[in-house]
């Protein structure tokens, strides 16, 4: 990883983005204040914020592994371990099943995206022009991965204690209230579990319409059980539309 990080540094200091680099440098100082952590090796922070699309756009070596993806991989494991450890300590009377469900919500893409937006991480990312134009700075998959890469960067910079402090202060803050926010509740799982508990047929999700232009579609999905309509929902993605349909079904069934 050090080899490609060095390549990134050389690229940053080159002529290609010389006029943009100082602005990014200043914004990284703002980000460090925001996350309440100052990097000893700023290169790690830069690597964590340099999306693979930017590297592929500006470096010809596609065989070289992206530090962003590698850091996301390690950060995911660190996050899972620390969250498990904290929940174990904070909820001494809870059964394993409830702790597992709570952990899965906290490490979910939706929850991490919520936390990424709270830190405004999207504006600090280096993305390819194509990814930028397609709304990459707001994509949940990219934002959640960035949180994990950032956790890894902090860990590599100064160890597990600093990574733990960041997770406790930025990720686990008010988590019990946050996981119950409407957009973070997994209505599909709730509906599935309710129907299973009654030994009933699981729901089916059917996309019945796609509205709007190709770059800004709205999907309409129905949740059905057999021929019965349980609920209908709309969303910018099929996944979100399914969640809305499941939410409507839960309301209809009183669960």
In the residue annotation, 157 being an active-site residue is answered as: no
Residue 41 falls in the annotated catalytic set: no
Which of 72, 86, 145, 148 is flagged as catalytic?
148
| Polymer length in residues for the chain | 255
Q: Which residues contact 125 (CB under 8 A, 6 or more apart)?
A: 49, 50, 51, 136, 137, 142, 146
Interatomic CA distance for residues 155 and 142, integer angstroms: 20
CA distances from 71 to 29, 44, 150 (A): 21, 9, 8
Calculate ∠ Cα 132-106-182, nearest 5°: 80
Tokens 């983005």 sit at which residue?
A: 17
Cβ-proximal residues to 66 (8 Å cutoff; 6+ apart), any chain: 4, 52, 55, 56
What is the spatial distance between Cα 66 and Cα 152, in angstroms, rounded to a whole number?
14
Map tokens 């936390």 to a residue.
115
Cα 77 to Cα 107: distance, rounded to the nearest angstrom: 10
Task: Kindly tell me the sign of the dihedral angle through the C-alpha atoms of 209, 211, 217, 218.
Answer: negative
Q: Are the C-beta atoms of 58 and 16 separated by less than 8 Å?
A: yes
- Please tell me which residue in 76, 145, 157, 222 is annotated as part of the active site: 76
Supply the residues annotated as catalytic.
Answer: 76, 148
């Amino acid at each position: 990883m050090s080899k490609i990080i060095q390549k990134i540094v050389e690229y940053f200091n080159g002529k290609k983005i010389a006029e943009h680099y100082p602005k990014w440098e200043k914004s990284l100082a703002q980000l460090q204040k925001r996350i309440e952590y100052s990097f000893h090796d700023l290169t790690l922070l830069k690597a964590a914020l340099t999306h693979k699309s930017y590297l592929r756009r500006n470096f010809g070596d596609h065989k070289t592994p992206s530090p962003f993806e590698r850091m996301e991989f390690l950060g995911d494991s660190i996050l899972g371990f620390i969250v498990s450890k904290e929940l174990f300590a904070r909820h001494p009377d809870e059964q394993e099943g409830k702790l597992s469900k709570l952990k899965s919500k906290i490490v979910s893409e939706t929850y991490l995206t919520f936390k990424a937006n709270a830190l405004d991480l999207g504006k600090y990312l280096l993305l390819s022009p194509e990814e930028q134009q397609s709304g990459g700075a707001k994509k949940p998959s990219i934002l959640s991965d960035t949180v994990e890469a950032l956790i890894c960067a902090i860990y590599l910079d100064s160890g597990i204690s600093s990574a733990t402090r960041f997770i406790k202060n930025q990720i686990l803050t008010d988590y019990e209230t946050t996981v119950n926010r409407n957009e973070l509740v997994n209505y599909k799982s709730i509906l599935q579990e309710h129907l299973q508990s009654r030994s009933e047929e699981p729901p089916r999700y059917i996309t019945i319409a796609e509205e709007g232009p190709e770059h800004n579609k709205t999907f309409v999905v129905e949740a059905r059980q057999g021929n019965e309509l349980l609920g209908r929902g709309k969303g910018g993605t099929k996944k979100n539309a399914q969640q809305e349909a499941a939410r409507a079904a839960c309301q209809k069934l009183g669960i």
